[in-house]
Amino acid sequence: MASQQSVLMDLSQTLRETSGTTVVDAQASGVQLSGSDAWSVSRRMLHEGPSDGVEVVNLCNGPLTVSILPTRGMGLWKAEYRDIPIGWNSPNRFPVHPRHVNLQSRNGLGWLDGFNELLCRCGLAFNGPPGLDEGAASPIESEVTLHGRIANTAAHHVSASVDDAGAGTISVRGEVDETTLFGPKLRLVSTVSSVAGSNAFTIVDEVTNMGAAEAELQLLYHTNVGRPFLEGDARILCPVREVCPRDARAAEGVDEIERYLPPTSGYAEQAYFFDLLADEQGESLVLLHNAAGDRGLSVHFDRQQLPCFTLWKCTQSEEDGYVTGLEPGTNFPNFKADERRLGRVRQIGPGETYRTTLRIEVHGSADSVSEVADRIRDLQSATEARVHREPTGPFCP
């Protein structure tokens, strides 16, 4: 039978009329996927406290469910694979509606008040720490707040589709506009998809400059993972060309980058900037796995699209948020003015689109973990990692 792409439904049309939960599955849609007969896409609204009005779209491929938050810029709240939870426990217990996040507050660090996702984007016009960007085109663009606006901007035109080619693929798509008069006019079109029955999902993002002049772009994928992947003696494996500590605090841990501490009261965050190796197709990847090596999560991306990888270690107490961030980006999360000077702020022309692809795989067995670990070791085999012991340019300003 020939492959057939059938649009199941436009969630934004069919599902938004109701405040309850709506589920589309194989039965409801009449579409069987050979990879799994238990796929579904569902939509519901949260109504509790600061989550009131937050839309959640669950993409389930059978064994794997990904919870997408259109209201929070198409971020991924959490996922679950065969009873393995994927995400972390933020002190912000629930998804926070953007209306309750004042990016300016807390001296420009208000973004932290809404931060609790497995994956959120930092961008699009800027990311990194807050401050006054004196190189900005105008006062409309010079006020930089932590990690930008996109994670707190609601998506429109949210839709779902299935393609029954091969094992079958389920997709959810949404558009997020970061626009203003006399300022940036960037549109993110994000598609989260997953092959039925698989252990992985893919994010394809297209950021288009809708304006008539060149625009700046910064885009970083803040991918945040806690237990059961992160624990004492958990490991992060990366194919490293070069790595550099962000600051003096990170420099303290430069001999132990690969290894994680258990929850540690009073631990202060450490961040490392990586230049990673890629395979012949240009794909780079990193792997986080638990101490026993039988639970792992790998992040795969195109090194050309996302040349800067940041590792964030935040192994503080469970109550405060025990987490690590695996963060591929167009840039390192230094202050925008510094990144511009170092050539890491992208320029995209009028009508131009910047495309990124990110794939996350979940590994539920020692074999699956070993396979990815071996692939990373193979990539590393021909190259000796260069490890800077102190903050160094061009990684650091």
Binding residues vs a second copy (CB under 8 A): 12, 16-17, 19-20, 47-53, 70-71, 90-94, 97-100, 102-109, 112-113, 115, 139-143, 145, 153-157, 175-177, 179-183, 185, 210-213, 265-266, 316-321, 350
State phi, psi for 184 to the nearest 5 degrees: -60, 145
| Residues with Cβ within 8 Å of residue 294, at least 6 apart in sequence | 364, 365, 366, 369
Q: Give the span between the Cα atoms of 148 and 110, in whole angstroms.
A: 10
DSSP 113-158: GG---SEEEEEES--SS-EE-TTSSSHHHHEE-TTBSGGGS--EEE
Beta 64-69 vs 270-276: how paired, if at all?
unpaired
Least spacing, CB of residue 352 vs a second copy, in Å: 12
Q: What is the nearest approach in angstroms of a second copy to the Cβ of residue 26?
A: 27
Residues in the chain: 397
Q: How far is the CB of 211 from a second copy (least distance, A)?
A: 5
C-alpha–C-alpha distance, residues 309 and 200, integer Å:
20
Minimum distance, C-beta of residue 216 to a second copy, in the bound complex (Å)? 15
Of residues 82 and 99, the one with the C-beta less far from a second copy: 99
What stretches of the chain show up as alpha helix (H) in DSSP? 11-14, 26-29, 105-108, 139-142, 248-251, 318-321, 336-341, 366-381
HSE-up (13 A, CA, CB side) for residue 59 = 33
Shortest spacing between CB 361 and a second copy, in angstroms: 27
CB of 397 to a second copy, least distance (A): 19
Least distance from a second copy to the Cβ atom of residue 251, Å? 20
CA distance 180 to 160: 28
Of 210 and 254, which CB lies nearer to a second copy in the complex structure?
210
Sign of CA dihedral 264, 269, 273, 279: positive
| Comparison of 142 and 191: residue with beta carbon closer to a second copy | 142
Q: How far is CA 256 from CA 227, 250, 261, 269, 272, in A?
A: 20, 10, 10, 14, 11
Q: Which is nearer to a second copy, 188 or 244 (CB)?
A: 188
Q: How near is the Cβ of 265 to a second copy at its closest, in Å?
A: 5
d(CA 29, CA 40): 9
- 8 Å CB contact between 288 and 278: no
Nearer to a second copy among residue 84 and residue 103 (C-beta): 103
- Give the nearest distance from C-beta 135 to a second copy in angstroms: 15
Dist CA 128 CA 339 (whole Å): 9
Residue 199: CB minimum distance to a second copy, A: 29
CB 331 within 8 A of CB 345: yes
Buried b / exposed e along 138-149 (16+ C-beta atoms within 10 A): eeebbebbbbbb
